[in-house]
Amino acid sequence: MLVEEIMNKDVVTLKPDHSIKEALELLNEHHIKHIPIVNDQYSVVGIISDRDIRDAAPSTLEKQKNQAILDHNIESIMTSPVITVHPLDFIEEIASIFYEHEIACVPVTKDNRLVGVVTEKDLLYTLIQLTGIHEQSSQIEVKVPNKAGMLPAITKIFGERKINISSVFIYPFKDDHSQKIIVLRIQTMNPMPLIDELKDKGYEVLWPNIPGLSQ
């Protein structure tokens, strides 16, 4: 899936000479946590978050000093330079950026102009949709050797039973690179006959591990 499919195109922006107070008002008004800062060409020159404002402003007990800080330009506290992504980047790359740089929002730019934003919440929602967990379904986890042909062999069994697969994920088994876990979410509320058949064919079903089924 591409960034352009999940990005928010209706972006609230400010310029560097706007005040911290204006940024705070926009954050509260739109119920958002980040505002890209752009120049006259609509290029991203910085980004500000609600945390940046909290860190900059002193205690509310110091009301007069607090007001003076809020009158400063946001340029004084914005993060710059800014990590950006392209609309045709893959969402997996966004997840890696969020994790490695410990950020929760990235502006999306094309031809050096802001065209959208993606937040950590947007990405999490999309990943939930991709897992198929929002649909009525069952999950099966099968441990297989890490070699070619295992996924087609497993899915063939599902196809023969005419069971629709909502999603498939594959990840390594612990620290054993010779094994993989295939996680399938399927559109049936009674996976027991399928689990029984998988075990009869010699596959190790890790989940659900239901007592009484064939070993």
Instruction: Give the CB-side neighbour count of residue 163, counting CA atoms within 13 A.
Output: 25
Q: What tens-digit pLDDT sequence spans the chain (215 residues)?
A: 999 999 999 999 999 999 999 999 999 999 999 999 999 999 999 999 999 988 887 655 455 656 778 889 999 999 999 999 999 999 989 999 999 999 999 999 999 999 999 999 999 999 888 887 777 789 999 999 999 999 999 999 999 999 999 899 999 998 888 999 999 999 988 899 999 999 999 999 999 875 554 44
* Identity of the residue numbered 18: H
The highest-level CATH class for domain 3-128 is alpha beta
For domain 133-207, the question of CATH label 3.40.718.10 is answered with: no
Q: What is the CA radius of gyration of the chain?
A: 24
* pTM for this predicted structure: 0.79
Instruction: Give the CB-side neighbour count of residue 127, counting CA atoms within 13 A.
Output: 13
Domain ranges of the chain: 3-128, 133-207
At 144, list the tokens: 């297989």
Distance CA 83, CA 106 (A): 6
Q: Cis peptide leading into 208, omega within 30 of 0?
A: yes
